[in-house]
Amino acid sequence: MSETNVVISGSGLWTPANTVTNEELVEAYNGYAEKYNAEHAAEIEAGTVTAKPLSSAEFITKASGIKSRFVYRKEGILDIDRMRPQFEARGDDELSHQAEIALHAARKALAAANKKPEDVDAVIVSCAYTQRSYPAIAIEVQNELGIKGFGFDMLVACSAATFALQRAYEMVKAGTAKCVLAINPELTSPQNNWRDRDSHFIFGDVATATVIETAETCTSEHSYDILSTKAVTSFSNNIRSNFGYTSYADDSAPYAPDKFFNQQGRKVFKEVCPMAAEHISTQLEALDIQISDVKRWWLHQANINMNLLISKRLLGRDATAEEAPIVLDRYANTASAGSLIAFNLYQEDLQSGDLGLICSFGAGYSIGSLVLKKR
């Protein structure tokens, strides 16, 4: 029996229509902070309440490289009396918000891969947060597209997309599916603490999707052999969110600060950067591929300083914008989707035989990567 070669045959990117710039965000946050400080002036003076610090657009750009972000719903985010997006409630018989954005990216990926729903055997929805526990968003998407087979959700924080691609690769390799649709509907804005100066600017909404199939069935214009996949996890509390249904049982506040995204940024930077560089270099070494042979680096898009440091550790010099494209300046941190946004926007120019690497890193800690070769 001949070995099954697995390829990425199509990808899709859906970008929301709404943007929030740093300037807009800072104006709203500072308005909220000033109001909070005025309302709690006595407690702040007595030392029982900590004053909210003010922010600036320059601070955000310097700290992260982010200049703007896309959001699924803008209404409510800049309202200093609300400071969170306003979604309309949908009934159980209506399409969920997350399935809606997943479908936008999924249809684009299927079109790019020249695939119809009947060609797909499995759907994976993998992201940092799902809006409900069950039924799975993946099964809802599967139903809307008319795909037979099966679907399931995966939550691996910022490595969710690469981990899903690896599960898809393994299914196709094992023959349990001939074609898999992996989708990353990153609806991060409801889980962002818009009242926290150190994290309110970090996240943006987006959806990406990827089709993985056998080389034998691939007919798309741009496709990539998957040469290698690699994943690693190492437990850390330095990135954490305690949101969950057990708040109902332990009587904790369901929307307390610890229930949102929290991180020890300096520790994450110090620990994850060398982990990611080592992860990538050993994966390439196992394939007998030199760092200099890699044409394109599609890295996780969380923080510009992390990307610059990791690419410099690998290359021994600063990477060019062509080698390691940056998208977080306009998309912000989109959790697991960042590396796939970069892949979507910066891959069609590659020539047959060119090598590229997709890599994510984030909470867990978790690191996932795939080495690709343009067909």
Catalytic sites, residue numbers? 158
φ, ψ for residue 292, nearest 5 deg: -65, -15
Cα distance between residue 76 and residue 87, in whole Å: 9
CA angle 335, 339, 340 (to 5 degrees): 100
Q: Is 278 helix (H, G, I), strand (E, B) or coil?
A: helix
Cα distance between residue 209 and residue 344, in whole Å: 9
- Bond prior to 134 in cis (omega within 30° of 0): no
Residue ranges of E strands in the chain? 6-14, 18-21, 68-71, 122-127, 150-155, 179-186, 206-214, 224-233, 239-240, 262-263, 294-299, 355-362, 366-374
Q: Is 238 helix (H, G, I), strand (E, B) or coil?
A: coil
Count the Cβ atoms, other than its own, within 10 Å of residue 250. Answer: 7
**Rg value, the chain, Cα:** 21
Sign of CA dihedral 329, 333, 336, 337: negative
Element (H, E) at 165: helix 160-174
Cα distance between residue 158 and residue 155, in whole Å: 9
